[in-house]
Amino acid sequence: MQSVLRRGAAIVTECFASLAARTGRHYGLGDYVGAPDAERVIVLMGSGAGATAECVDALVARGERVGLVVLRLFRPFPAAALLAAIPPGARAIAVLDRTKEPGALASRSTRTCLTAFAESERRDAAHRGGRYGLGSKEFTPAMAKGVFDALGAAAPPNHFTVGIVDDVTHTSLPWPRDFSTRARACARSSSAWAAMEPSAPPRARCRSSPARRALRQGYFVYDSKKSGAVTISHVRFGPQPIAPPIRSSGRSSCRCIASTCSGGST
C-alpha cells in the first residue's frame, strides 16, 4: 500500500492530464484563485470552492489581496502542491472543513495542513482552522467574505464556525448579509431568476428570452418526505459561467414552489 500511496499524487496528476485532453477542463492537486500578492488565503476542498472563488473574484476586483487554494486530493496529501499554490506574502491562512470532530484539536484538513506548514519553511503566517456547512447549511460568497474579514483582524480567531449560529460554544463568525457578487455579471441581475416547472426540474425550460442567449445554472432543492413534498427549482443566467451551488437570492426573481408560483422580490 505504501508504495502505491507514494505514487498516488503522480497517478492522479496523470489522470487530470488525461481528463484535460478529453474535455478541456484542467485541474491540479492544488489550484489557486486570487491575487498573486494575496495576504489572506482560504484553503478548502469540495463543495465550498465555487462560492469562495466567486467571493475572491469580487474582492480582488475591488483591490483586496485575497486568494483561495482548492485541494483536489486528500490522501496521499499533496503537501508540495499546497505550499507551492499559496502566495509567498500570505500572512493569514484559514483551512476550512465541512465537518466537526468532537473532542479533536482540529478537523482533519486543518491538522494535515498545519503539519505541512510546520514541516516546511512556511511558518511565518497565522494558520487558523474553521468549519462551514454544518447541518447541511449552505455556504455562500458572503460567508466566505466573513472568513476573509476575520483573517484581516490583528488576532484572527481560531476554531471558528461560519454559517450557523453557535449559541453553545459561541464560535460563530459574523458575515455581511448584504454582500453581493452580482456586480461582476450585471446582465444576470437585470432578470436573473426565472421560474421552472417544479414537477420535473431537470427537463424544465427557461421561458425568459434573455436566458436563451446566456449561460445558465440550475439548482434544485428536493424534499425527501414521502407525501406533501416540496421541490424548489432555481435557475440563474448571465454572460459568464455561474459556479457556486447555492440558492437564488435577490430582486427580479420568480420561484415556483410545488403547484404555486409567485414572483417578486425575495
Query: Considering its fold, how many domains does the chain have in total?
Result: 2
Percent of the chain exceeding pLDDT 70 equals 76
Q: How many helices (H) and strands (E) does the chain have?
A: 7, 10
The Cα–Cα gap between 216 and 235 comes to 7
| 46 and 157 together in one domain | yes
Backbone angles phi, psi at 258, to 5 degrees: 55, -120
Beta-carbon contacts of residue 173 (< 8 Å; ≥ 6 apart)? 130, 146, 147, 150, 157, 160, 161, 162
Does residue 213 form part of some domain? yes
User: Could you read off the pLDDT of 114-129 as tens digits, one per residue?
Assistant: 999 999 977 788 999 9
Q: Is the pLDDT of residue 208 over 60?
A: no
| 156 and 58 together in one domain | yes
pTM (predicted TM-score): 0.81
Split at pLDDT 50, 70, 90, the class of 241 is confident
Q: Is the pLDDT of residue 205 over 70?
A: no
The Cα–Cα gap between 180 and 177 comes to 9
What are the beta bridge partners of residue 234? 219
| 10 and 135 together in one domain | yes
Q: Is the pLDDT of residue 13 over 50?
A: yes
